[in-house]
Amino acid sequence: MESVGFDDTIAAIATARGRSAVAAIRLSGRLALPLLERVCPEVAGRSGPPDARRQYLFRVHHPETGELLDRALVTYFAAPASYTGEEVVEISTHGGSIAPERVFSALLAAGARQALPGEFTRRAVLNGKLDLLQAESVADLVDARSTAFHRAAVHQMERGLSARLSALRADLLRTEAMVSYGIDFPDEDEPPIPIGQIVEAARGTLRQIELAIGTAPQGELLRRGAAVVLAGLPNSGKSSLFNALLGIERAIVTDIPGTTRDAIEADTTVLGFPFRLVDTAGLRETQDHVESLGIEVAQNYLAAADIVLFCTESSGTLSRQEARFVREVDAKRLLVVSTKADLGRPSGEVVGAPAGSEERLRVSARSGVGLTALRERLVHTSFDEELSRPPDEPLVTSERQLRALGRSAAELRRFVVEIKENLSSEFAVTHLRGATHELEELIGAVTTDDVLDTLFGRFCVGK
Ligand SMILES: Nc1nc2c(ncn2[C@@H]2O[C@H](COP(=O)(O)OP(=O)(O)OP(=O)(O)O)[C@@H](O)[C@H]2O)c(=O)[nH]1
Ligand SMILES: [Mg+2]
């Protein structure tokens, strides 16, 4: 495919700042090779350009002062066989904070322009190297903080969702052809293709779109992490359990009830799945102003929690006060654990335990007992759908995707209504085209500038 023909050649340090063995600098645009020659006189001295996709060890100099800046590994990718589809040069310099910056400055001095966030990927999309969904997955891949989300992003980068939606788009085009066939021969008594068949085809596609929409809550959870809010009476061991799940001593633990006052949040992964843990103030009636504010905060977190991890020191019946708190949480979100299992309690306490409490997990932050079972329970409670999702089944992971699919489904439903009432098929078909258009815009077959702006706004420089 022809390069879109941007005038500037852009450059960026693509690796993170800080101490490292190597850093990568990227250069993309028509002048990538001439700019390389300006900073690497050895390239200029060669009889021809460097071979594409071969690594060379070149000295890098400042184009104005001639100062030697580094020895770097240089790879040239000839257009269009490159990430962006343009002429690309990648320079691997020594890492650290100085060498990459100085080589980068040399490239700017030679005439490159500093790339904007996501500009390389944006060019890749505009040159047809990646579709929009793949571009989104590139950002997800970089942002991924859990292996589960990473897995979804990789699948999308491999065109998982794109392929599925392209197939649905093809189905819609076929349905449109069926309708047009009817419109082209309006004088026939019986339409050449029965309306029922057209409706059936549209409904089939609609079901597929709805299935994809149905994966969005799980995709959203994978992106943001499931919120687990630890709650319970003061001193019930919430902060200790919070620290044990995190693997670091983050919250203060003392034997004084009412230690935690504010809510403490921390992102973590549990068995590869993303979670946000929230430790809260113990729930109790109190005259203490600060403590009661903390309890109010806790209540707000509880309302928004994906899972309420209720900690009780009892291994049997909950106290009246505890039972009152627990009643306010709906059962699907509630997970009750008996803490401090290492202390061992007289088995007599279990007598009179409410139904279901035999299954209650007993955990100890001190000895580690029950923590593995608790981790598994947390993952199953939040990510059961993800665990049972076939690996090749695509997942809707962004608001943009969800909205576009919603609009496509709405158009398709309107189409079905119109065509069934046998209103003018020309009118119905505009809704069918609307549904197709939404899918095309989602994949990136047609893109508008503001779609690109929102999408690439969250990229990092050099990607
Ligand atoms: N033996 C034992 N003691 C524990 C365990 N977990 C917590 N404790 C003790 O119980 C006391 C209270 O623990 P915290 O983790 O501060 O309890 P909390 O629920 O956060 O308390 P508040 O913040 O005051 O509401 C401390 O003295 C802890 O050392 C455990 O698993 N085993
Ligand atoms: Mg605490």
Q: Indicate whether 233 and 367 sit together in one domain.
A: yes
Q: How confident is the model at residue 220 (pLDDT cuts 50, 70, 90)?
A: very high
Across the chain, which distance is largest between two alpha carbons, in Å?
Answer: 90
Cβ atoms of 454 and 400 closer than 8 Å: yes
Q: Going by CA atoms, what residue is nearest to atom 13 of ligand 1?
A: 237
- By most ligand atoms within 8 Å of CB, the mutation choice from 236, 240, 252 for ligand 1 is 240
> Which residue among 388, 406, 428 closes a domain?
388
Angle between helices 132-143 and 425-443 (to 10 degrees): 40
Distance CA 278, CA 246 (A): 11
Distance CA 132, CA 143 (A): 17
Residue 451 covered by a domain: no
Q: Indicate whether 161 and 294 sit together in one domain.
A: no
Ligand closest to Cα of 365 equals: 1
Tokens of 17: 């700042």
Show the beta-strand stretches assigned E in 38-172: 55-61, 68-77, 88-94, 113-114
> Percent helix, strand, coil in the chain (nearest 5)?
50, 15, 35
Q: Indicate whether 68 and 205 sit together in one domain.
A: no
Per residue in 124-148, pLDDT tens? 999 999 999 999 998 899 889 999 9
- By most ligand atoms within 8 Å of CB, the mutation choice from 233, 253, 312, 374 for ligand 1 is 253
Q: Indicate whether 346 and 421 sit together in one domain.
A: no
CA of 341 to the centre of ligand 1 (A): 12
Reduce the DSSP state of residue 232 to 3 states and report it: strand
CA of 71 to the centre of ligand 2 (A): 54
Show the beta-strand stretches assigned E in 146-254: 226-232
Residue 450 covered by a domain: no
Question: Which of 211-215, 289-293, 315-319 bottoms out in mean pLDDT, i.e. has the lowest?
Answer: 289-293
Number of domains in the chain: 3
Residue 372 burial class via C-beta count within 10 angstroms: exposed 0-12, middle 13-18, buried 19 and up: exposed
Residue 447 has pLDDT above 80, yes or no: no
Per residue in 386-406, pLDDT tens? 888 887 788 999 999 999 999
Q: Indicate whether 418 and 336 sit together in one domain.
A: no
> Which residue among 85, 102, 131 closes a domain?
131
Per residue in 337-376, pLDDT tens? 999 999 976 443 443 444 444 578 999 999 999 999 999 9
Q: What is the mean pLDDT of residues 433-458?
A: 78
Q: Going by CA atoms, what residue is nearest to atom 12 of ligand 1?
A: 235
Q: Indicate whether 361 and 292 sit together in one domain.
A: yes
Distance CA 166, CA 443 (A): 8
Distance CA 308, CA 328 (A): 11
Per residue in 61-95, pLDDT tens? 999 999 999 999 999 999 999 999 999 999 999 99
Distance CA 96, CA 23 (A): 8
CA of 268 to the centre of ligand 2 (A): 18
Give the CATH number of the domain where residue 279 resides.
3.40.50.300
Ligand closest to Cα of 264 equals: 2
CA of 311, closest atom in ligand 1 = 19
> What pLDDT is recorded for position 296?
82
Residue 445 has pLDDT above 80, yes or no: no
Length of the chain equals 463
- By most ligand atoms within 8 Å of CB, the mutation choice from 230, 233, 235, 280 for ligand 1 is 235
Q: List, as ranges, residues with CB under 5 A of the ion ligand 2.
A: 238-239, 259-260
Question: Which of 50-64, 299-313, 401-415, 434-448 bottoms out in mean pLDDT, i.e. has the lowest?
Answer: 434-448
Q: Indicate whether 362 and 245 sit together in one domain.
A: yes
Ligand closest to Cα of 255 equals: 1
Per residue in 158-179, pLDDT tens? 888 999 999 999 999 999 988 8
Q: Indicate whether 43 and 113 sit together in one domain.
A: yes
Which residues are near ligand 1 (CB < 6 Å)? Answer: 232, 234-240, 253-255, 257-260, 282, 339-340, 342-343, 364-366
Q: Indicate whether 201 and 85 sit together in one domain.
A: no
Residue 288 covered by a domain: yes
CA of 282 to the centre of ligand 1 (A): 11
Residue 100 covered by a domain: yes
Reduce the DSSP state of residue 301 to 3 states and report it: helix
User: What's the domain range around 158?
Assistant: 141-215+395-444
Closest CA to 221 of 380, 91, 98, 386: 386
Q: Indicate whether 87 and 109 sit together in one domain.
A: yes
Residue 163 covered by a domain: yes
Q: What is the mean pLDDT of residues 241-246?
A: 96
Q: Indicate whether 274 and 384 sit together in one domain.
A: yes
Residue 112 covered by a domain: yes
Measure Cα distances from 419 to 411, 425, 426 in Å: 12, 6, 9
Closest CA to 27 of 97, 82, 99, 69: 82
Helix (H) or strand (E) holding 195: helix 195-214
Tell me the β-bridge partners of 60. Answer: 70
Task: Please report where in the chains the tokens 């101490």 appear, as a residue.
Answer: 19
Q: Going by CA atoms, what residue is nearest to atom 8 of ligand 1?
A: 237
Ligand closest to Cα of 259 equals: 1
> What pLDDT is recorded for position 351?
39
Give the CATH number of the domain where residue 408 resides.
1.20.120.430
